[in-house]
Amino acid sequence: MARTKDKRAIDRLNAAISNALKNFKPPEDLTVSEWADRNRRLSPESSAEAGPWRTSRTPYLEEPMNAFSDAKVHHIIMVAASQVGKSEFELNVIGYIIDQDPGTIIFVQPSVVEAKKFSRLRVAPMIRDSKPLKSKVADAKGKDSGNTILQKSFPGGSLMIIGSNSAAALASTPARYILGDERDRWAISAGDEGDPWALAEARQATFYNAKSVEVSTPTIKGSSNIEASFYLGTQERWCHQCPECGDWHNIVFGNVKYDYEEIKVGKKKTYNVTISGWACPSCGCISPENVMRKQPAKWIAANPEAYNNGVRSFWLNAFSSPWTSWSKIIRKFLEAQHNPQKLKVVVNTLFGELWEEKGEGVESDDLVKRRERYDCDVPKDVLVLTCGVDVQKNRLEYEIVGWGLEKESWGIQYGVIMGDPGQLTTITSPEGLKIRSPWEMLDDILNKEYLTEDGQVLQIMTACIDSGYHSDTVYSYCKAREINRVWAIKGQGGSGIPFIHRPTKRNDAGAWLFNIGVDAGKDTITSRLKVEFEGPGYCHFPIDNDKGYDRTYFEGLTSEHRTTHYSRGQTILRWEKRSSGARNEPFDLRNYATAALEILKPNLEMLKKLRETTDNSPQKPSNIANNTPKKRRYGVVSRGIDL
């Protein structure tokens, strides 16, 4: 009987120990790619090809994934275009860690908002649809499960998904693994704590077997964090073998040969593209796309010695993506070629290349020569008018800008209203004279009707007023006119700050106050000023003397240039005056008028259609007595101001 009791006790002890030890068994002899091929399923809500993961579908991901399971490698960098599977690479690494080699993971996204989105749309479906992960990550619905949007607990570790701007999250938890997504879009500093990547790496100090992964689409040459990291590693490029001479080369845009036919649809252009093939830099022979996709390919390192330091780095563009045809890439390039902002997106996200700024500012003489005669208040292609207002100590300055399809713009009026901005209403002087306030005179400007050459009447649909000076007066003025979409704004300098930050509540004065990322706006304006052909993004200016666009205006519009600074090991781009005494109000005002458009978000395409419909409909007879056509007023079709 005693032996029976002892056996039962031993069995219970063995069962308890067995359950505890099974979470600490060594990882199987699997690479990350082998684990993914065995266990990973692509989720239908996040993949065009839902079902079992196949590394053979994206063979260029095999080496980066397996580098993670290489004991000699502790740091992996991937610079990649969009739509090549870089997020799946990160997810496979996370799945492998949870199932095979558990430890605490800090997964850093550019912001907390993006962290929550990635968790809901990518991480949660992966856990749900992969059996070994579902059994190890507790159900989020369970009480005290340790599974929340930003934290997933599992035996032996946890996954913390955070934003790069969250200093507390970056500095609070030791972690064996650090994964950084879209590294080039991270905050420059996590609060006041400094470089987010350095903060995250400091969490690994006590782990001899720590590993880190950086992934990003490239951005601007010379200020790209992922570029700097890439050159610390093996510097590998995905190269294909030429079927003619046998040499290996990375397929890049400059070696893809094509023809195209321009197609016009109204004012828009698109293109029929015919790909001739890829021209080998070694032998010059042209091989068709379908041939090159079947050719042997491999990673070739320019700095293989970095492997001895445990750092492997990879650079990949969209020409190798199984989901993106070469003709689609070339068509996107042709459609964006005259618009620097759109072209930058194509270069970064499809070519997988760094964007090189050809200049950090615009010269005033080039813009003075651009001026043209409108012969009307407002050219006929203008669909919406916005206004920017700058408050100085002794005056208000304003600019009215007209906007057409695809952000083509027309300067309408630049002006100065002298007077004390602290005076909100008319006052009587000691001599009995009535002195109107500059704000009352601004009302005249904002309420004015502007006539187009075809008899239409437009009014300013929205305005932004800087609240840097006489803030209380600005708030009071805007609060009383918010029904007319007159908004108080506050500029915030610095790279990485979004152009428009919409308020969630009124400020202490009871007004809606929009924060404006002025550097982002100035980047956009400068790119548009560089557009040389009429159409998307092009900036028109009137030559008429009474419109205010004289040489002084253009000197102010081009008074700043972008400079590069270095702080805490980070490259910082900053807009500064070319000279200390330069007047930059025109540059600021164009920024405010542009912000007004972005806050309003008018549906310009719909406005254009409404106007064309009205213009083509039968018109009532003109006023015969004075032979004046009846004016037609147009409202604004807006996507709404979300307050």
| Per-residue pLDDT tens over the stretch 68-86 | 999 999 999 999 998 899 9
Domain boundaries in the chain?
Answer: 32-235+302-321, 378-633
Predicted local confidence at residue 638, as pLDDT: 46
The two beta strands, 500-501 and 513-517, are antiparallel
Mean pLDDT of 578-589: 84
Per mean pLDDT, which range of 88-97, 209-218, 335-344 is the poorest?
335-344
Instruction: Express each pLDDT in 603-620 by its tens digit.
Output: 998 988 888 776 654 443
Predicted local confidence at residue 10, as pLDDT: 64
Predicted local confidence at residue 224, as pLDDT: 87
Residue 359's pLDDT band, with cuts at 50, 70 and 90, is very low
Predicted local confidence at residue 143, as pLDDT: 53
Bigger pLDDT: 332 vs 495:
332
Is 91 within 8 Å of 15 (Cβ atoms)? no
Which bin fits 485, alpha (ψ -120 to 50), beta or left (φ > 0)? left
Predicted local confidence at residue 65, as pLDDT: 96
Bigger pLDDT: 314 vs 452:
314
Q: Which helix (H) or strand (E) segment is 79 a member of?
A: strand 75-80
Residue 623's pLDDT band, with cuts at 50, 70 and 90, is very low
Residue 569's pLDDT band, with cuts at 50, 70 and 90, is very low
Cα–Cα dist 195/174, whole Å? 17
Dihedral sign for Cα atoms in the order 619, 622, 623, 628: positive
Of the candidates 445, 450, 451, the one whose C-alpha atom is nearest the C-alpha of residue 463 is: 445
Bigger pLDDT: 194 vs 436:
436
Look up the CATH number of domain 32-235+302-321. Answer: 3.40.50.300
Per mean pLDDT, which range of 8-12, 82-86, 139-143, 471-475 is the poorest?
139-143
CATH class as words, domain 378-633 = alpha beta
Predicted local confidence at residue 627, as pLDDT: 34
Mean pLDDT of 38-51: 85
Mean pLDDT of 343-349: 89
Share of the chain above pLDDT 90, in %: 56
Is 591 within 8 Å of 522 (Cβ atoms)? yes
Residue 141's pLDDT band, with cuts at 50, 70 and 90, is low
Cα–Cα dist 237/259, whole Å? 27
Mean pLDDT of 255-267: 84
> Which of 139-148, 182-191, 617-626 ranks highest by mean pLDDT?
182-191
Instruction: With a cut of 90, say whether residue 316 has pLDDT above it.
Output: yes
Predicted local confidence at residue 1, as pLDDT: 52
Cα–Cα dist 453/197, whole Å? 56
Mean pLDDT of 506-511: 93
Question: What is the rounded average pLDDT for all residues in the chain?
Answer: 85
Bigger pLDDT: 15 vs 241:
241
Cα–Cα dist 107/414, whole Å? 49
Instruction: With a cut of 70, say whether residue 6 has pLDDT above it.
Output: no
Take residue 382 and report the two structure tokens written for it.
């203008």
Instruction: Express each pLDDT in 110-125 by its tens digit.
Output: 988 899 999 999 999 9
Predicted local confidence at residue 572, as pLDDT: 65
Is 76 within 8 Å of 214 (Cβ atoms)? yes
Predicted local confidence at residue 291, as pLDDT: 95
Predicted local confidence at residue 622, as pLDDT: 33
Instruction: With a cut of 60, say whether residue 634 has pLDDT above it.
Output: no
Predicted local confidence at residue 128, as pLDDT: 92
